Amino acid sequence: MSMMTNKEIIAKLESELEQLREWGQECLKNDPNHPRNHFKYTIGCSGANDDLYTHSLKKAKILCLEMCEKYGCLATVEDSKTWKTVYSVC
């Protein structure tokens, strides 16, 4: 059995992440009242129970830093429509 190279592993993970983004975007189409449909940025952290939302990138970065400090783990700011990471801290 052959081992996957790092490049192959990264490509596989990126492909899976893209599939998750597409699935998430499809789910949002069925929930027009979801905050991601109303705010430009989503701030999330694995230790937090809920995501935060804002229209301001400056405010999103501040909230991201605060979440990182509070929960002691990776926090990210995503574009709410594309789910692409805009900013992250650990």
- Strands 75-79, 41-45: parallel, antiparallel or unpaired by DSSP? antiparallel
- 27: in domain: yes
State the residue range of the domain holding 60: 6-89
Residue listed under structure tokens 């909230």: 63
Q: Rounded distance, CA 13 to CA 53, Å? A: 26
pTM over 0.75: yes
- 16: in domain: yes
Helix (H) or strand (E) run with residue 20 in it: helix 6-29
- 1: in domain: no
Q: How many structural domains are present in the chain?
A: 1
- 72: in domain: yes
Taking a C-beta distance cutoff of 8 angstroms, is the pair 55, 41 a contact?
A: yes
- 73: in domain: yes
Q: What pLDDT, in 10s, does the model give residues 44-90? A: 998 889 999 999 999 999 999 999 999 999 999 999 988 899 999 98
